[in-house]
């Protein structure tokens, strides 16, 4: 909630140097950052998102036409494999994937997927509905792939 305001320079005079960062903006930024309370949760979130951010050269091939339904009917055989560009990390119960905070808990199965970069589909059947839903989205986004 500390950084939820937008900087406004209403009433500032026109300038002949529009590319110059205004001193007032720098001071407002310093004042806002001074209000941030750094703690383990914030540091974990920052590091998790930062370290899981893929390279700018990374390209994911969306798989919107997939026949697989990991939510209702995961395959009995095969594996889910992370795309070579996908970065999946965890700390405690938090999960970070490709620069995002995943909205699932870091279960043992998700930690296994992150550590081994693949997971047997027989394990997917035992995952929570929320986790299977996230896996389905990752599959459609091209972040993970099915290997029979």
pLDDT tens figures, 42-75 = 999 999 999 999 999 999 999 988 899 999 999 9
The whole-angstrom separation of Cα 119 and Cα 78 is 9
In the chain, count H helices and then E strands: 5, 6
Question: In what side-by-side order are the strands of the sheet with 94-97?
Answer: 88-91, 94-97, 100-101
Prediction pTM value: 0.80
Q: Are 138 and 97 in contact (CB under 8 A)?
A: yes
Lowest-confidence region among 13-17, 65-69, 115-119: 13-17
Domains of the chain (ranges, CATH numbers): 39-148 (3.40.366.30)
pLDDT over threshold 60, residue 26: yes
């Amino acid at each position: 909630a500390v950084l939820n305001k937008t900087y406004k320079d209403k009433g500032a005079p026109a300038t002949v140097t529009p590319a110059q960062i205004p001193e007032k903006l720098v001071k407002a930024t310093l004042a806002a950052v001074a209000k941030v309370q750094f703690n383990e949760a914030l540091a974990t979130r920052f590091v998790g998102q930062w370290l899981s951010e893929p390279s700018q050269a990374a390209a994911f091939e969306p798989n919107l036409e997939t026949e697989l339904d990991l939510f209702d009917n995961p395959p009995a055989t095969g594996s889910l494999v992370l795309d070579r560009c996908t970065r999946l990390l965890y700390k405690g119960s938090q999960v970070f994937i490709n620069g995002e905070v995943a909205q699932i808990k870091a279960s043992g199965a998700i930690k296994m997927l992150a550590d081994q970069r693949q997971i047997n589909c027989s394990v997917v059947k035992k995952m929570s509905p929320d986790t299977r839903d996230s896996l389905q989205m990752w599959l459609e986004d091209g972040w993970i792939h099915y290997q029979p």
